[in-house]
């Protein structure tokens, strides 16, 4: 069950959100009375409530907004109990002074906005001694190992326990709480209105992660990155799981660089089946692989890893995705056919440029690479046997194929392009790896100049589809991924 938190300044807004959420099928809400700017009118909030609720009134020290006296706060809590609220949230230090009464269930809570303490188990034991129906611990996560502590605690608890790690790193505990035995998790009414660090919206929990469908048999997949919040992996892969009715979930794992080795080891413990890997781990992860496909070895980076019995297997799906997307403009060619005699200009010398240069090299194209750091371009040129040029010289090349492997033109810099329009020639192939938006300025100029264009979405969808296949052994229709990407990026013309 997802409990949605309502934190509004006026009674009428609290009531309206409560009603709306119940209509949306929400079965439990938390009324944060500390957000109400006037004295809370509890009978008004609880009378005719459209679905059960928890009453919570947090002090500032516990992350709340209550600015009146402690005496009045306790009066509010006691009144809610007297009015027969379904659940009352009581912090550890006051739980002993507010006894059980009527049918109101007691949720005994502990908050720590600084850290996830080592002695989580003994804190939990203390809370269990305060006559709880449910114990709730919310602590700040700084490392992925904090999540693991919380999962173990929930799994082993004898009293129903909700263990939430706050912050971006803690997101997995919010999504997987139910799988590890928690009676419910918390979410916000809207994405922009977080009441605690790292909270996700009710819609995200319900529609992307399908929280209510997760159970102890749900297989865990995910993406490791740092930061991870903007990563589209959870959105597109979850759409694939939904479409193919798979009992799988795709989690955003924020893993700092230093935690990679630990995380890969702990993944087996957690039963994680496979991971999408992105910045900053794509290259580093290669040292931990026991098997790797040819592209991983050639590029020196993996974007997909699978945990097989006793082995960690790595793949690079940017490489086949680039090749397949490029082939769409050569309808009469065989797939992956040689590009002998074609001149290609690659802009950028980062991660995606490496996969592209590796692919082009294998197809015998005549490649020039240009980046704002000439040293980086020269180093890639040496490795992939091509020609580096200075960034300011890039428009002097008259390539058959132009590839943008920089983020220039990416949202929100929509009016930027890496290659002046006047240098685009009719018939040239223009391939932009930027996928948000799909219609970048470079792509628009390319179309206007009668170039053949390939978009970042064409490549993104393919790399995600290859990844999905490695992770699950099944294929997902490209249209599903494309539609989901379009919804997520909100672009008008994807």
Pick the piece of the chain touching ligand NAP (CB under 6 A) from 122-130, 200-208, 263-271, 366-374.
366-374
List the one residue from 180, 184, 250, 435 that touches ligand NAP (CB under 6 A): 435
Q: Does 373 bind ligand NAP (CB under 6 A)?
A: yes
Cβ distance to ligand NAP smaller for residue 326 or 434: 434
List the one residue from 376, 387, 444, 447 that touches ligand NAP (CB under 6 A): 376
List the one residue from 352, 360, 453, 480 that touches ligand NAP (CB under 6 A): 352
List the one residue from 116, 188, 316, 463 that touches ligand NAP (CB under 6 A): 463
Cβ distance to ligand NAP smaller for residue 164 or 465: 465
Q: Does 52 bind ligand NAP (CB under 6 A)?
A: no
Strand 248-254 with 219-225, pairing: parallel
Strand 401-404 with 304-308, pairing: unpaired
For 257, other C-beta atoms within 10 Å of its C-beta total 10
Q: Which residue is nearest to ligand NAP (CB)?
A: 350
Nearest alpha-carbon partner for 352 in 340, 369, 365, 364: 369
Least distance CB 238 / ligand NAP (angstroms):
18
Residues 112-151 that bind ligand NAP (CB under 6 A): none
Q: Does 29 bind ligand NAP (CB under 6 A)?
A: no
From the candidates 18, 34, 111, 354, give the one annotated as an active-site residue: 111
From the candidates 237, 248, 282, 470, give the one annotated as an active-site residue: 282
From the candidates 18, 124, 136, 179, give the one annotated as an active-site residue: 136
Q: Does 430 bind ligand NAP (CB under 6 A)?
A: no
The residue ranges of DSSP E strands in 120-263, in sequence order, are 134-140, 161-166, 185-188, 219-225, 248-254
Q: Does 467 bind ligand NAP (CB under 6 A)?
A: no
136: annotated active-site residue: yes
Tokens describing residue 386: 């091509």
H helix or E strand, kind and range, residue 145: helix 144-156
Pick the piece of the chain touching ligand NAP (CB under 6 A) from 13-21, 260-268, 291-299, 457-465.
457-465
H helix or E strand, kind and range, residue 375: helix 374-383
- Burial of residue 331, with CB atoms counted within 10 A of its CB: 0-12 exposed, 13-18 middle, 19 or more buried: exposed
Pick the piece of the chain touching ligand NAP (CB under 6 A) from 137-145, 161-169, 172-180, 431-439.
431-439
329 DSSP 8-state letter: T
Q: Does 386 bind ligand NAP (CB under 6 A)?
A: no
Q: Is 91 helix (H, G, I), strand (E, B) or coil?
A: strand
Pick the piece of the chain touching ligand NAP (CB under 6 A) from 87-95, 179-187, 227-235, 370-378.
370-378
List the one residue from 371, 386, 401, 494 that touches ligand NAP (CB under 6 A): 371
**Residue 402: beta bridge partners?**
345, 430
Cβ distance to ligand NAP smaller for residue 8 or 354: 354
H helix or E strand, kind and range, residue 478: helix 478-489
245: annotated active-site residue: no
The residue ranges of DSSP E strands in 189-245, in sequence order, are 219-225
**CB of 443 closer than 8 Å to CB of 430:** yes
Q: Does 433 bind ligand NAP (CB under 6 A)?
A: yes
Least distance CB 376 / ligand NAP (angstroms):
5
Cβ distance to ligand NAP smaller for residue 105 or 376: 376
Torsions phi, psi for 59 (to 5 deg): -75, 165
List the one residue from 162, 339, 434, 480 that touches ligand NAP (CB under 6 A): 434
Q: Does 405 bind ligand NAP (CB under 6 A)?
A: yes
Tokens describing residue 375: 């040293």
Distance CA 461, CA 81 (A): 53
**Residue 56: beta bridge partners?**
32
List the one residue from 34, 146, 226, 318 that touches ligand NAP (CB under 6 A): 318
Least distance CB 298 / ligand NAP (angstroms):
16
Per DSSP, helices labelled H in 181-229 are: 202-203
Instruction: Please state whether the peptide bond connecting residue 280 to the residue before it is cis, i.e. omega within 30 degrees of 0.
Output: yes
DSSP assignment of 409-473 equals T-TT-TT--SS-GGG--TT-EEEE---SSSS-HHHHHHHHTT-EEE-HHHHHHHHHHHHHHHHHS
**CB of 481 closer than 8 Å to CB of 475:** no
486 DSSP 8-state letter: H
Cβ distance to ligand NAP smaller for residue 194 or 423: 423
Cβ distance to ligand NAP smaller for residue 213 or 397: 397
Q: Residue count at the site for ligand NAP (CB under 6 A)?
A: 24
List the one residue from 117, 256, 336, 350 that touches ligand NAP (CB under 6 A): 350
318: annotated active-site residue: yes
Nearest alpha-carbon partner for 470 in 299, 347, 326, 291: 291
Tokens describing residue 484: 């989901």
Kindly list the catalytic residues: 111, 136, 282, 318
Site residues (CB under 6 A) for ligand NAP? 318, 321, 348-353, 371-373, 376, 405-408, 410, 433-435, 456, 459-460, 463
């Amino acid at each position: 069950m997802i409990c949605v938190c309502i934190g509004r300044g006026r009674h009428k807004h609290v009531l309206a959100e409560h009603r709306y959420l119940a209509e949306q099928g929400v079965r439990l809400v938390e009324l944060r009375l500390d957000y109400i700017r006037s004295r809370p009118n509890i009978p008004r909030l609880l009378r005719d409530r459209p679905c059960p609720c928890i009453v919570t009134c947090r002090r500032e020290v516990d992350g709340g907004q209550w600015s009146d006296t402690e005496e009045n706060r306790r009066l509010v809590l006691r009144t809610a109990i007297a009015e027969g609220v379904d659940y009352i949230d009581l912090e550890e230090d006051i739980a002993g002074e507010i006894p059980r009464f009527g049918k109101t269930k007691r949720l005994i809570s502990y908050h720590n906005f600084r850290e996830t303490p080592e002695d989580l188990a003994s804190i939990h034991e203390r809370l269990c001694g305060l006559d709880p129906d449910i114990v709730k611990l919310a602590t700040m996560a700084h490392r992925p190992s904090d999540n693991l502590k919380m999962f173990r605690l929930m799994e082993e608890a004898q009293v129903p326990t909700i263990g939430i790690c706050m912050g971006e790193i803690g997101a997995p505990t919010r999504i997987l709480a139910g799988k590890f035995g928690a009676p419910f998790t918390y979410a916000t009414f809207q994405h922009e209105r977080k009441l605690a660090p790292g909270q996700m919206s009710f819609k995200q929990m319900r529609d992307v992660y399908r929280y209510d469908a997760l159970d102890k048999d749900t297989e865990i997949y995910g993406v490791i990155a740092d930061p991870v919040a903007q990563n589209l992996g959870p959105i597109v892969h979850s759409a694939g799981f939904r479409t193919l009715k798979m009992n799988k979930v795709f989690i955003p794992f924020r893993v700092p660089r230093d935690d990679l080795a630990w995380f890969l080891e702990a993944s087996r413990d957690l039963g994680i089946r496979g991971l999408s890997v992105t910045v900053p781990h794509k290259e580093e992860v290669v040292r931990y692989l026991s098997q790797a496909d040819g592209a991983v070895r050639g590029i020196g980076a993996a974007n997909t890893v699978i945990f097989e019995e006793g082995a960690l297997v790595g793949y690079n799906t940017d490489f086949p995705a680039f090749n397949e997307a490029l082939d769409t403009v050569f309808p009469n060619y065989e797939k992956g056919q040689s590009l002998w005699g074609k001149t290609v200009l690659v802009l950028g010398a980062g991660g995606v440029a490496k996969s592209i240069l590796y692919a082009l090299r294998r197809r015998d194209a005549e490649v020039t690479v240009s980046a704002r750091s000439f040293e980086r371009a020269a180093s890639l040129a040496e490795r992939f046997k091509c020609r580096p040029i200075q960034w300011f010289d890039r428009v002097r090349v008259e390539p058959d194929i132009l590839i943008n492997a920089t983020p220039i033109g990416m949202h929100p810099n929509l009016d930027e392009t890496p290659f002046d329009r006047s240098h685009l020639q009719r018939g040239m192939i223009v391939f932009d790896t930027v996928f948000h938006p799909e219609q970048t300025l470079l792509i628009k100029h390319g179309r206007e100049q009668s170039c053949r264009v390939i978009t970042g979405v064409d490549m993104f969808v393919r790399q995600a589809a290859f990844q999905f296949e490695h992770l699950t052994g099944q294929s997902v229709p490209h249209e599903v991924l494309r539609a989901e990407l379009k919804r997520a990026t909100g672009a008008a013309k994807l």
